[in-house]
């Protein structure tokens, strides 16, 4: 083999985002990059139903959601099932570090999202990243 590429640990992604353009853009970009988007939802209730029913490798969760819900509740449910959560938000919640792998600050671009997912995947493998992508805070 010419390239020593590690197999992806993250294949199936749940997007929890109540800003339609951000949700649409992230979903299409991730599909284009070869990820399977299990669902794109905009409320805590919908997210909890998907987490309970689907196999998911990573949840990308906004903190403030359309049903006045809190993405921290989504992260708690995902954490209980052993699913990694990355907050994607304008204000990272300081009280939810135990439920998420980190936080990506909005706004972010496609390249940045891809770098962040690669970094999250490396951390899930037990690797220590040399440098974090812009806007990413690991917990």
Q: Per-residue pLDDT tens for 94-129?
A: 888 899 999 999 999 999 999 999 999 999 999 999
Residue 48 has pLDDT above 80, yes or no: yes
Q: Please report which confidence band the pLDDT of residue 76 belongs to, taking 50, 70 and 90 as the band edges.
A: very high
Q: Say what the pLDDT of residue 1 is.
A: 43
Q: How far is CA 53 from CA 38, 49, 90, 129, 134, in A?
A: 10, 6, 29, 32, 33
φ, ψ for residue 19, nearest 5 deg: -90, 110
Relative to beta strand 102-105, strand 136-138 is antiparallel
What would the CATH number be for the domain defined by 17-138? 3.40.50.2300
Q: Is the pLDDT of residue 90 over 80?
A: yes
Average pLDDT in the 80-95 region? 92
- Give the residue among 104, 17, 23, 135 at the shortest CA–CA distance from 66: 17
Listed by start position, the domains of the chain span: 17-138
**Cα 89-15-99 angle, rounded to 5 deg:** 60
Residue 14 confidence (pLDDT) above 50: yes
What 3-state class would DSSP assign to 15? strand
Of 80, 122, 130, 129, the residue nearest 100 (C-alpha): 80
SS3 assignment, position 59: strand
SS3 category, 54: coil
DSSP state of 67: T
For residue 5, what pLDDT band results from cuts at 50, 70 and 90?
low
Give yes or no for residue 70 having a pLDDT over 90.
no
What's the CA gap between 9 and 119, in Å, rounded?
Answer: 11
- pLDDT > 50? residue 59: yes
pLDDT: which is higher, 46 or 7: 46
């Amino acid at each position: 083999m010419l390239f020593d590429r590690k197999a992806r640990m993250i294949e199936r992604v749940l997007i929890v985002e109540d800003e339609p353009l951000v949700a649409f853009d992230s979903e299409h970009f991730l599909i284009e990059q070869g990820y399977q988007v299990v669902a794109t939802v905009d409320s805590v209730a919908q997210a909890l139903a998907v987490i309970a029913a689907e196999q998911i490798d990573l949840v990308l969760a906004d903190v403030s959601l359309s049903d006045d819900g809190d993405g921290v509740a989504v992260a708690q449910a995902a954490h209980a099932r052993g699913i990694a959560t990355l907050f994607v938000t304008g204000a990272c919640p300081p009280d939810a570090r135990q439920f998420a792998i980190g936080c990506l600050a909005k706004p972010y671009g496609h390249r940045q999202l891809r770098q962040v997912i690669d970094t999250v995947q490396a951390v899930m493998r037990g690797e220590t990243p040399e440098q974090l992508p812009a806007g990413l805070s690991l917990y």
